[in-house]
Amino acid sequence: MGFWSSIMGRSQPAAPRLDSLFAVPSAALTLEAGLGLVPTGLGSVCYRAASGAGFAQTQQEAVALLGAAPDAPDVEVTLDDFGFTWLTVSHDPSDTAGLCTDLHAVNSTLGDAGFGPGLLCSLVVFADVTGRRVGLVYLYKQGTFYPFAPQPTTGSARQAQVRDTLMEIQVRDAVEHDLPLEQERSRWLAVWGAPGL
């Protein structure tokens, strides 16, 4: 922080710690061994899209960057019910490191182009043998992770959305030595309708 900013009482937000995403493969091994949760190969970056040609071009560049490799993953851009954009990457489930590298690249591309304030989170999806889904959510501005586990719904009637807090606590406890975890529970936001969950 500069002298003038300190006098005016302004502070700059901390730089994101995107390299924390590279710790997810280690956490994946822990989750599989301890809770039977394995990576699905799905990951996504959530952001509030900016208007204008500059942002559209940057988003296209991020998608093109992911598609440049010979074994390029599937990439899809969708808009959720809350107006947030999800850029979803589908990898081979055994390549968690490659998935995290791609999520890092998307975050970096958007952040380096000046669209960092619109970045909200990244998500890596896990499942157990029954197909139950759990997400590790990376908060871009905090540089921390938290688990999100939607309660499985049964029947054909649309039920209220409920979190499985017991599963979230089990995941948190399992990966506490692998990942920087978000200690403030109020920041454990629900990501209803996130791709793959």
Q: How many domains does the chain have?
A: 1
In a domain, 196, yes or no: no
Could you list the residue range(s) of the whole structural domain that residue 58 is in? 15-187
pLDDT of residue 3: 53
CATH number of residue 54's parent domain: 3.30.70.600
Helices first, then strands: H and E counts in the chain: 5, 6
What does the pLDDT look like over 48-104, one tens digit per residue?
998 888 899 999 999 998 888 778 899 999 999 889 999 999 999 999 999 999 999
Tokens of 110: 């958007």
pLDDT tens profile 19-52: 999 999 999 999 999 999 999 999 999 999 988 8
For residue 2, count other CB atoms closer than 10 A to its CB: 9
d(C-alpha 190, C-alpha 148), whole Å: 7
4 within domain boundaries: no
Residue 16 has what pLDDT? 65
Q: What's the whole-model pTM score? A: 0.87
Q: Supply 188's token pair.
A: 């454990």
Query: Is residue 74 one of the residues assigned to a domain?
Result: yes
Higher-confidence position of 15 and 126: 126
Task: Count Cβ atoms below 10 Å from residue 79 Cβ, excluding itself.
Answer: 10
Query: Element (H or E) spanning 7, and its range?
Result: helix 3-8
